[in-house]
Chain A
C-alpha cells in the first residue's frame, strides 16, 4: 500500500462546476500538506500549503485537512478550462524526519467549456 493514495482520474467536469480532489494517507505522523498543480509538460507548481486540520482558502481554491480521518481535499469553485491539469498532493512529517515530501500519484482534471 502506498503511503499516499490519490485517484488518478481523469475527472471530467463542465466549466463552472465545483471540483473536489482528495488524498488519503496511512501515516498519522504527516503534519504538513501541500497541493501542487502540474500542466502538461511543465513542472509542478505549489498551490496551497496547510499545517493544521481545518480549511484554508485562497481565491477559488480551498484546502481542507482532516487529520483524524487521514484525508485531505482540494476544492475548486467555478472551475475554468484553464484549471485542466494534474493535481498532486504532497505531505511531510516526523516519519520522514521532515526532510522530504511524499507525493500522491496525481489526479488528472479536465474542465470542458
Chain B
C-alpha cells in the first residue's frame, strides 16, 4: 500500500528524447509536488498543484510540463532532454499547500 508511488524508478535515455514520469498518491491529499534532487542531495521544488490547479512553477524550463488529471495524479513530461536534466525527481503530496510533504521513492533520470 504505497502512499506516493512514481514510475519508472530508473530512466536512462538519450539527449533530445522526450520522456514522462507518472505519480499517484492514495493519501487523499489535495496538493502534489515535483522536486528535483541534484547530485549534492539538494532538494528543490519545481511545481506544485493544489486540487489540479498549478500553484507554483519555480522558474523551470518550459521543456518540463506537469499535468494533473485529478488530485491523486501528477505527471511530469520532459521534452528534448539535456545532460543537465540528469537528477533524481521526487513526487510528493501534502494534505494542504505547504504542509509536511510525503515523498515517493524517486525516479533516477540519466541522460546520456
Contact = CB atoms under 8 A, between A and B. Distances in A.
Given A42-B105, A42-B106, A43-B90, A103 B43 contact: yes
Interface residues of B, number: 24
Contacts of A74: none
B106 to A, nearest CB: 5
A34 B94 CA distance: 13
A41 B88 CA distance: 9
B1 to A, nearest CB: 15
B100 to A, nearest CB: 5
A99 B49 CA distance: 10
Nearest to B33: A100
B98 A98 contact: yes
Given A44-B90, A46-B100, A88-B43, A100 B56 contact: yes
Contacts, number: 61
B66 interface: no
B102 interface: yes
Interface in A63-113: 86, 88, 90, 92, 96-101, 103, 105-106, 108
B55 interface: yes
Chain A interface size band reads 20 to 34
Interface string B69-100: 00000000000000000000010100001111
Query: Which residue, B33, B43, B97, B102, has most C-beta atoms of chain A within 10 A?
Result: B43
Interface in A27-49: 32, 34, 36, 38, 41-46, 49
A74 B97 CA distance: 25
A105 B41 CA distance: 6
A54 interface: no
Given A99-B56, A100-B98, A41 B40 contact: no
* Ranked 10 nearest A-B pairs via Cβ: A43-B103, A98-B98, A103-B43, A106-B41, A99-B98, A43-B105, A44-B103, A99-B97, A92-B98, A105-B42
9 contacts: A8-B40, A43-B92, A43-B105, A45-B103, A97-B98, A99-B56, A101-B45, A105-B40, A106-B42
